[in-house]
Structures are given as C-alpha cells and as structure tokens.
Structure 1
Amino acid sequence: MTDTGTDAERRTGRNETQEERADRMWVELLQEIRVAQTGVQILFGFLLTVVFTPRYAELQDVDKVIYIVTVVLGACATGALIGPVSLHRLVSGRRVKPQTVQVASRMTLVGLILLLATMTSSLLLILRVATHDAFVPWLVAGVVSWYGLCWFVVPLWTRRRYTTN
C-alpha cells in the first residue's frame, strides 16, 4: 500500500486517509442508526394506534396531554433518526463525506435524546394508566436514570477514560 495522504490527513492509531476514515465512520454510524430506527419506528407505530382504541376516550385530560406529547416526541425522534439517510442521499457524490458524517452524527445524537424523551413519556403514560399510584414518577425517574447511565454516562466515561481527544 502506498502512502497517498499527508500526515495531516492521518489519524493516530489507524493508517487511513480522511476519506477512508469518513467512509468507515459512515458505515459504523449507519449500523448504529439501524438499531435506533427500528426501536423508534416500532414504538411510534404503536403510539399511533392508541388514539383509535376505545380506552383512549376514558383517559384523563392529563393522560391525553402526555399521549399527545409522546406522539410528537416520537415523530421528532423518527425524523432525526431517518434524517441522516436523506442527508446522505442529497449530498452523495459532492465530496463532503467527512462533513456529512459529522452532521449525521449530530442528528443521530438528537434522535437518541428525543427517543429517550419518547420512551420516558410512554412509560409515564402507561404506568399512570396501569397503576394510578404515587410511586409512578419515582419509577419513571429510576428508569430514565438507567437509560442515562447506559446511553450517556458510561459512553462518556469510557471516552474520557480511554481516549486522549
């Protein structure tokens, strides 16, 4: 293999050009998005059907508001997690892969945050309807804390602990 890139194009630890790195990161990002997209689309599809059930009319007003907020959050999460596909399609072939990866990565992070909010409000609604107990907010807070730990705290700790940049 001949060295066609400059030292500035190289990243420590890998022998790849900026374009090769962008290609690799794009493939990795797509794999991550596939997992999140599947989850958000199933959840969003389920949420869309709730309003058509007989039980919906019996919900308290506050539960209907939680439902509406949840559906809107789910729609926004779906948009953010599908957005990178549209972004790639519209800029493909324009030689902006590194920038595309960066923007798509940010969209994915926003999508994950919106997915967290969707799951939180879904859980709140379901537990309110199922139990009507005062411990529901505490239970939801515990689950959200768990998501936060798994999705953000551990990855950020790992990044800080094991990387230099």
Structure 2
Amino acid sequence: MKILHRLVAFLLLPVLGYLLGATIFFTFWDRIDVGDPAKAGYVAVAESCERRGPVSYKGFGHWYTCTAKVTQLADGVTRTMKAGFLTPEHIGREVAVETTRRYREITASERPYTWLAGVLLFPYFILWLFVFVHVAGPVLPVRRRGRKMPIRYQKPGTES
C-alpha cells in the first residue's frame, strides 16, 4: 500500500499538477485580440487549422495549430508560418502579430488576458504545494536531527 501511495505522490500528482497549471495558463495566454493591423509591422491571416489535444503540453482541452500567411507591411513580403494562438475563427481575418527570435516565430500583438493567467497561477501553485505536502508527507522518511540520544549507562566496575 505504501508503494501505491508513493507512486501517486511522486508520479501522478506532479504530472496532474503540471497539466492543471498549464490548462490555467494557456487558457488565458492563447486568448488574443486581433489588434489594429494598420499599426502593426506584420499581419497574419489564418488559412487552415488542425485541432490538437485533449491532453498535451498545454494541459487539458483542445487547441489549434494554424497555418497562416504572414505579411510584413513595410516590404510586402509574405511567408507561411504556423501559430498556436490562432483559432478557426481567425481564418480569413487579419490579426496584428509580431515576430520573435530572428523572425522565426510569430506572436500576437494583443494579449489582453495574460495578467489573469499569472494572477490565477500563483494561488493555484500555493494550493498545489499544500496538497503535495499533505499527500507526500506520510511517505517521506522522518529525519530526527538535533535530537539528543540517551546516555548509555554502564555497570559499575566495567570501564572501556
């Protein structure tokens, strides 16, 4: 029974904790606004989307990987890129985007709910830590440091 308790505490609970935390984070991180395409340096128009999930590194639930045509407004150069923040409702609509890491990835210009992800993750992490300590505490080895050991008494006349 103790081995089952350890498996739950040290294998199942961390994975479940990560997946729930990722679900909270990506639920709000992936919510975007289309922004103002006229003021943006780049504009993305989603062409097709693939549904992913129900369990992935983004947690529980379904999410999409969309192929989008990204146009740099200054030059008119168009590239086809993949984006994980676009959804099927963005197909055919212009979304203001920015590039990161030497123009290799795109990210949304307007992410209005990112602060909410951080606000919700902090208490979730504290709660998860208390649950983990409560579940894992009984199976952790008890360390008794700083405890005085009793003095062994010897019979009179026996000296070592």
TM-score, normalised to structure 1, is 0.29
Name the structure where strand makes up a greater proportion of residues. Answer: 2
Name the structure where helix makes up a greater proportion of residues. Answer: 1
Higher relative contact order (CA 8 A, sep 6+): 2
The structure with the larger Rg is: 2
